[in-house]
Chain A
């Protein structure tokens, strides 16, 4: 007998529910709950992409630095420091009708059909915050950060579910660290900012112990068996005991194989992923050591090698300027945009050309979502004016299931800051001054990761950014 999957169940049960005098939303949610009850695996395994590379931009880095809509790209003269381009130097993204790139991000144009950018998400709560409200639904909702949910599910059975590069050595928050909302789940493994490449590679270094390798193999095999037995005994005292035993098994792999040679090859990666590019900071900025951004490019390269060899499921990398103000009208913002764009333009073909060992027949491009988010963005002021706090929030989504375009727009009429304009979640049509919500951006990320099994949640996502299929 053919095994019934969740979609079958919803389709079949939905047919009969159609006659009941209840609302459509109630019916859909009821069906979703029934499916999860009837098919336990619906509770754990996300469908769709199963890895996440998340790049968190601190200090109010604007998303329109990377790509903007035609109202900004068609300006005869560059008018705003956040998008210092005009009609003569912008190019339209391939396969899009409203995504334009300036010279610093032009390397992304060939991939534009899978890049969605918006800066029309309403400001939510205070400005500087390591919590990134966009990553927890909103300042009020405090939902679990998607990368935490995905890493805990670890659908690729990677050795280490998720890692997080802490970011800069200084800044307004401890270690420039972006904080995840875990709600009791396991947090990402934090990589020291002092020597990030070495610290990360050492996670996968085989440890020399006092006993011989054959003895160690015997010990660990038996310890694994013992742990499984203990997990059975502990099941009534410790929920997820068997999951803990699996984590134990993953740890023991690190004694049987030295994976470091896979990772040390990061220096051979393209320039955007090997740390050879630098982004020099202005002297007045931040007081951080030079080379921090080089570490971030290398961190992304190392994360990609971790994906390639299935050492990690997901990774988060922080870009921390320390302060935006010294950067906003200088050549440094151009260099920052160019550096991050170069990295993304190298990562995308890497994903497209690399098989996913955890999912035979698929490439990492099939399984990975890239999310670039900004804790907040600045007011889009004209040249010469300060980009004060109080703008909107921004997000850039990159992936096979992402419908590329710039979503939303800016009112560029008159003088003063350009005001962000919202878009309809489903059609992308302009909504004027009605902006979009952080909650819906959060739901969009979950939907693209296959984590939104609630129909209601999926409905509220930016459906216009999601390719069906």
Chain B
């Protein structure tokens, strides 16, 4: 018997032993990947990407703008290619993309790329408005622009970890004053944990 044959035999023997002695566990483990059941056929593995990712709804987004960023309308203007307001509002003009129930279709809270795109735009522009508003700026940075505790508590619901503080500090190191605060706000507000419901 060659070395390769011995190697193959060893592998196959191990697998068979696994099947025979912990067969039940094997099948249970496999079933975790399955979404389909098929009349007694073996289940087909599925990659359930984002299956449990629940995006924040339009109502939460609007409430966040009103209560955390002090933007009474709960929305931000859409800008044209030259940076001028178009007269449209970002959330109102993207209700379908953001999953608002409409046209007889139920609300959709799944996490999709277009939804994230709109949400990032809303949050970045909301931060611009907020840090230029004295009241909101004080809410977000009561201890100065280098302390992200209140910002994190408001948007994420927990204090930042040391790693997270390091990422924000590194990104804003070349900025000063309101520019740094605006960037820090935008980074946190448009991060994954701020945009999904846990």
Contact = CB atoms under 8 A, between A and B. Distances in A.
B38 A457 contact: yes
Given A149-B46, A218-B183, A244-B196, A174 B105 contact: yes
A36 interface: yes
Contacts of A268: none
B59 interface: no
B154 interface: no
B35 A244 contact: no
B67 to A, nearest CB: 21
Interface string B19-38: 10000001101100101111
Interface string A245-267: 10110111011000000000000
Contacts of A78: none
Nearest to B188: A226
Interface in A154-182: 154, 159-161, 174-175
A332 to B, nearest CB: 28
A350 B163 CA distance: 48
B2 interface: no
Contacts of A399: none
Interface string A1-40: 0001000010011011100100000000110111011100
Given A12-B12, A153-B47, A255-B120, A219 B192 contact: no
Given A144-B35, A229-B161, A13 B12 contact: yes
Given A222-B171, A248-B116, A17 B192 contact: no
A216 B187 CA distance: 9
Contacts of B19: 30, 34
B102 to A, nearest CB: 11
Contact of A160 (B53, B114, B183, B188): B114
Interface in A188-226: 189-190, 192, 203, 207-211, 215-216, 218-223, 225-226
A87 interface: no
Chain A interface category by residue count: 35 or more
A359 interface: no
A75 interface: no
B197 to A, nearest CB: 10
Residue from B37, B48, B171, B196 whose CB has the most chain A CB atoms within 10 Å: B48
Given A210-B79, A226-B188, A244-B111, A219 B46 contact: no
B171 A36 contact: no
A29 B53 contact: no
A29 B112 contact: no
Contacts of A33: 26-27, 30, 42
Given A4-B11, A219-B186, A17 B33 contact: no
Contacts of B81: 208
A141 B96 CA distance: 30
Interface stretch (A366-374, A419-427, A446-454): A446-454
A209 B42 contact: no
B100 interface: no
B191 A227 contact: yes
A240 B171 contact: no
B41 A456 contact: yes
A189 B48 contact: no
Given A186-B50, A238-B52, A239-B52, A34 B26 contact: yes
Contacts of B112: 160, 186, 189, 247
B186 A244 contact: no
Contacts of B43: 454
A210 B190 contact: no
Interface string B113-145: 110110011001100110000000000000000
B79 A234 contact: no
A186 B51 CA distance: 6
Contact of B48 (A29, A159, A185, A222): A185
A126 interface: no
A194 to B, nearest CB: 10
A36 B33 contact: yes
Contact of A211 (B163, B172, B182, B188): B182
B186 to A, nearest CB: 5
B60 interface: no
B73 interface: no
Contacts of B16: 13, 16-17, 20
A42 interface: yes
Contacts of A238: 52-53, 196, 198
B47 A44 contact: yes
A230 interface: yes
Interface of B: 8-9, 11-13, 15-16, 18-19, 26-27, 29-30, 33, 35-39, 41-53, 79-83, 96, 103-105, 108, 110-114, 116-117, 120-121, 124-125, 128-129, 161, 163-164, 167-168, 170-172, 179, 182-183, 186-188, 190-193, 195-196, 198
14 contacts: A16-B9, A143-B38, A160-B113, A209-B125, A209-B128, A219-B186, A223-B187, A230-B164, A238-B196, A244-B111, A247-B53, A248-B192, A439-B39, A453-B44
Given A210-B79, A222-B171, 16 more contacts: A16-B9, A152-B47, A152-B48, A174-B104, A185-B49, A208-B81, A208-B82, A209-B121, A210-B124, A215-B179, A221-B171, A230-B191, A231-B192, A439-B38, A456-B42, A457-B44
State the 4 A-B residue pairs at the shortest beta-carbon distance, nearest first: A222-B171, A251-B116, A227-B192, A454-B42
